[in-house]
Structure 1
């Protein structure tokens, strides 16, 4: 089934009571430096601190709408999706068990528990995935995957849907790629509301399974857990549903770790709020894309989340990059 704008609209209506309509931020200094207008959809101010609340809430609301309320929800995730499903299930009064690898952010594990979920930790992502499949085979148990699900995609797409209803004449939308759910939903919303606006994906070079998949024309899976500070993009492979949408993107960028560090520092400073490395890396793609343009552009960047533990924070700030302004970065 090919999803359309109407599916995003229905999702936005379903999740209205359960999510925040997040703000759009700008930095006049950044705009002055780069010579373009850049807008940030601040999903770090979303419920659970990330856009993932949208997809989780929409999926459960859709199940209820279909008369298919499960007796239990299960999910597998290393971070924000875990918290999102825990929050959504709690909001609908449904018991939930989340399966997470042990290397997940400690703060995200604790937050998932705080939303009322039972958390089961495993040594590897493979074991985690096996356990959630086993749990999902039980009667009246529903598995909400992190990205490869139509209703998850529709929920995630509501972030850009909201943005493009508030902003006019946007030339390009940038969003990070983990499993591709946010990008897929963003593409559907953009094509429906603003067909001339480009949609551009961004991924860590150290976790570039989506880029490799697009180059080779088939889904490529990483052989090991990637070494990247962008923990929201550590997905081993995109899904068969999301890949079909990723193939329709206008461009795709792979970003090195030092650029991820740089923009996490600078966006935190310029926007005065906590921002995850996973979405901060999109700004390097924006900078490169704008560098090829001869006229002033209006760009939307999805700030996908603001959940970052102390260990990652320390790695981000080992070297101070705020002495190097964005006009001179190489």
Structure 2
């Protein structure tokens, strides 16, 4: 299936509102809180959107729900779906596939999060381990889908953006005074959906993309104006561990982002500790990246209302213990 956007561009306000009806059949809108200690740490008013409070602990479930809803509406539910993931996208597709009675196979790289793997299996997913990184797993999933005649669910697609946009739509409506938001970039659905919600609502918020300094394909590609493959060495931010950027996502991110921030694993670990200390919420590496970027730019944020996405909380217990213990 092509990952090109619809001819009309990003999801419209009507698209997002219709997607919200689909999402809310599975769970309610997630909360956003103005945590006092977090605002104090950042030196300005800060709101945190809790996408770690969905049924799979991450924002991705919204996209899976609307992707399958669109397949069903078109009468195109397949006999099997296959996809690739580092964990949260796979849980999203596994959840939605189970709800529609469609068998689901997910490919993950070797050494993937054991707890994310367990969560996917619990949803009835047939889990396959292949390759050393996400790109290798993705390429194997594509080949497997072709061999089996199965439907390959991409990581970036307009029908995924429909659902993911609902969380930014919620956030911008709940806190209309937001001046700037920080959003992590894995394959791009989260940041592109923030841009979609901003445009749909006519909001003035500035959107800052966040990438791992150890996985720079999006930073390099945006700078070059074309897809540039980059090595991945992050050991903490697996949700951002992409080697090859998506061209369709780049087309949205280029004009839609205010700027881009790169965060190191050390900065991500610091942000994970800060979120636990200030809010007693657990964040996975990618889930803490927004705060890591905001802390990096702290001196420029005084007097502004900042929005952060805690995009996921699915971190292995041992990893979290190590992060907390390294303070």
Query: If the length of structure 2 is used for normalisation, what is the TM-score?
Result: 0.91
1:267 to 275, 285, 288: 275
Instruction: State the aligned residue count.
Output: 317
2:326 to 314, 319, 325: 319
Counterparts of 1:227 and 1:139, CA distance in 2: 33
Report the counterpart of residue 123 of structure 1 in structure 2.
131
Give the unaligned 5+ runs of structure 2.
Answer: 1-6
Deviation of the 1:252 alpha carbon? 0.7
Counterparts of 2:11 and 2:157, CA distance in 1: 14
Report the counterpart of residue 109 of structure 1 in structure 2.
117
Q: Greater CA deviation, 210-219 or 283-292? A: 283-292
Query: If the length of structure 1 is used for normalisation, what is the TM-score?
Result: 0.90
Report the counterpart of residue 3 of structure 2 in structure 1.
none
Report the counterpart of residue 68 of structure 1 in structure 2.
76
Structure 1 segment 1-330 matched on structure 2, within 5 A: 1=7, 2-6=9-13, 7-125=15-133, 126-137=135-146, 141-146=150-155, 148-223=156-231, 225-248=232-255, 249-293=257-301, 296-320=303-327
Counterparts of 1:270 and 1:66, CA distance in 2: 46
Deviation of the 1:281 alpha carbon? 2.1
Deviation of the 1:316 alpha carbon? 1.2
Structure 1 residues 238 and 26: alpha-carbon distance in aligned structure 2, compared to 1, 3 A threshold? same
C-alpha deviations, 1:201-250, integer Å up to 9, x for none? 11111112111111111111124x42331111001122111111110201
Counterparts of 1:187 and 1:290, CA distance in 2: 23
Counterparts of 1:260 and 1:276, CA distance in 2: 9
Deviation of the 1:274 alpha carbon? 1.2
Structure 1 residues 19 and 136: alpha-carbon distance in aligned structure 2, compared to 1, 3 A threshold? farther
- Spell out structure 1 runs of 4+ moving beyond 3 A: 32-35
C-alpha deviations, 1:241-300, integer Å up to 9, x for none? 111111020111001221111110011121111111212121132234441245x11111
Counterparts of 2:147 and 2:29, CA distance in 1: 36
| Contact kept? 1:44, 1:303, Cα under 8 Å | yes
| Contact kept? 1:283, 1:301, Cα under 8 Å | yes
Tell me the secondary structure at the aligned position of residue 98 of structure 1. strand
| Contact kept? 1:97, 1:117, Cα under 8 Å | yes
| Contact kept? 1:73, 1:142, Cα under 8 Å | yes
Give the unaligned 5+ runs of structure 1.
Answer: 321-330
| Contact kept? 1:164, 1:194, Cα under 8 Å | no
Tell me the secondary structure at the aligned position of residue 243 of structure 2. coil
Counterparts of 1:150 and 1:90, CA distance in 2: 21
Counterparts of 2:201 and 2:321, CA distance in 1: 40
Tell me the secondary structure at the aligned position of residue 214 of structure 2. helix
Q: Greater CA deviation, 278-287 or 26-35? A: 26-35
Structure 1 residues 286 and 127: alpha-carbon distance in aligned structure 2, compared to 1, 3 A threshold? closer
Counterparts of 2:312 and 2:249, CA distance in 1: 20
Deviation of the 1:185 alpha carbon? 0.7
RMSD value over aligned CA atoms? 1.8
Counterparts of 1:213 and 1:23, CA distance in 2: 34
Deviation of the 1:195 alpha carbon? 3.0
Structure 1 residues 141 and 20: alpha-carbon distance in aligned structure 2, compared to 1, 3 A threshold? farther
